[in-house]
Amino acid sequence: MQLYALDTLAVMLAGTVSPSSGSMLATILSACGKAEATVMAEGRVTSAWDAALANGAFAHALELDDDHRIAVLHPGAVVVPAALASAEAANASGLTFLRALLVGYEVACRLGEVYRGSLFDHALHPTALCGIFGAAAAASVAMGLDRDAFVRALGIAGTQAAGLTEWRADGSWIKRLHPGRSAHGGVLAARLAQNGFTGPATIFEGDGGFFRAFSHAGPMDPSSMTRRLGDDYRALGTAIKPYPCCRFEHGAIDLALEAAEGGLQPDQIEAVHVRIYRTNVLTYHKAPKNAVDAQFNVPYAVALALVRKGVRLADFTDDGIKDPDVLAMAERIDVTEDAGFTAKYPQEYFVELKIRLRDERERTLLSDCPSGDPEASRYRNNPDLLPAEVRRKVGALLAECGFAERTLALETCVAGLARAPNLLELSHILGSRPTKDERRLSSAPAGSGRRGS
């Protein structure tokens, strides 16, 4: 789990530079609780649940946090903040923290696989609804709860599950709140359970439980929760995101980058047609309405890759989405939802890019699994490739967000977590306030972001 810890902790720290994170931080710091857990770049300044709230929102602010393909959710942004805050407050060891991550990821991912993305069809955000159970599980392990208290914590977590997808209407920041709110609720659930507060053991399958509340009479696979439990670790199928935008468009970006890096120039392109699976999340209009909309807009993302040969954090800002060259390319890109591809989703993320050149030649590219996913073909014969990509991503991300001097220390600390008696060193690295140089760098727009960076 060190790989996921390193990625999410770096994304979380970098996420403090997002405009939405400023509002979150001001809210938390205006009413600090007991100083027992670390808020990124602020130190141990507040309660475990409020630290989890802030850090969860930071983790999702850049759209760079990890993602599980089949569960169709972001486990790290919820589980890591909950586990970190709870482990700090309990003075737990590094190994306990890692165990908390594994259990939390496993619970969230298995519950997500029950729904396989169908919650989006009903305006519900899987990361928020399923993630709170992962957060409660992680917090319970970090705090050393026994079996009965663990079960109570899940029951308490379930009644707090919430998260709507209406952010798509106007580009508001509520999606970024969801992981933080679920991390907060998970920590609260574990603490209540620790103090004897009760929660139903039938929170999933009961008549008034989660499955009934969120089934909408649609297909579900409840057996995913326990199938080969303890043998097949679904958590380890979690993917690392290389691009700061919706995971559903990463396959199209991969293909566009492949074409661009192969020498294809924008002025050679007459038109591009993208065939993709249906998700009820992506948008296909030609120009982003706002910075958040840009993170989910397929023509814009493909145009970025073709024109810039990279997809950067700065491309998803209010100024970045106005680039005339990128917008002109986006005008030439059409998207079709393909029924055959949709039938394979979410087991496979099929995307086809058909590029028609001005000289009337055509080029067709196909992807069934985007980069960053452990099951993508590029990693099958090279087990060292994904960890190397994560390290490059962490280094580049922290550098462009003003935290370059912490990169080596963070990597070394995370690598040694299994032997660490506590999380004091990790807390110091993550919680140290920005220096003058870091503040100067963080005020500038973030820069590069290529595949594997």
Over residues 376-386, the pLDDT tens digits come to 999 998 999 99
Q: Give the mean model confidence (pLDDT) for residues 355-380.
A: 95
pLDDT at 388: 97
Q: What is the pLDDT averaged over residues 244-256? A: 97
Residues ≥6 apart with Cβ < 8 Å to 118: 216, 218, 219, 220
pLDDT digits (tens, 9 = 90+) for 32-41: 889 999 999 9
The model's confidence at residue 439, banded by pLDDT at 50, 70 and 90, is low
pLDDT range class, residue 216, cuts 50, 70, 90 = confident
CATH class of domain segment(s) 2-242+381-442: mainly alpha
pLDDT for 435 equals 75
Mean pLDDT of the 125-132 span: 98
Which helix or strand (DSSP H or E) is residue 43 part of? strand 43-46
CATH class for the region spanning 247-370: alpha beta
Q: How far apart are CA 250 and CA 452, in angstroms?
A: 12
Report, as an integer, the average pLDDT of 202-222.
93
Start-end of CATH 1.10.4100.10 domains in the chain: 2-242+381-442
Helix axes 147-158 and 126-142, enclosed angle (nearest 10): 160
The token pair at 282 is 């992506």
Average pLDDT, the chain: 94
Closest CA to 400 of 340, 354, 450: 450
pLDDT, residue 152, reads 98
Q: Which of 185, 243, 211 is nearest to 114 (CA)?
A: 211
Instruction: Provide the pLDDT for residue 12.
Output: 96
Q: Where in the chain is the domain with CATH 3.30.1330.120?
A: 247-370
Q: How confident is the model at residue 213 (pLDDT cuts 50, 70, 90)?
A: very high
Task: Retrieve residue 169's tokens.
Answer: 């209407």
Count other C-beta atoms under 10 Å from residue 322's C-beta: 11
pTM for the full model? 0.94
pLDDT for position 31: 86
Beta bridge partners of 93: none
Residue ranges of E strands in 344-418:
351-357, 362-367
Cα Rg for the chain, rounded, in angstroms? 21
Is 309 a residue whose pLDDT tops 90? Answer: yes
> Is the predicted pLDDT of residue 5 greater than 90, yes or no?
yes
pLDDT confidence band for 447 (50 / 70 / 90): very low
Q: Is the pLDDT of residue 440 over 70?
A: no
Q: What is the pLDDT of residue 437?
A: 65
pLDDT tier for residue 438 given thresholds of 50, 70 and 90: low
Helix (H, G, I), strand (E, B), or coil: what is residue 103? helix
Rounded to an integer, the average pLDDT of 152-179 is: 95
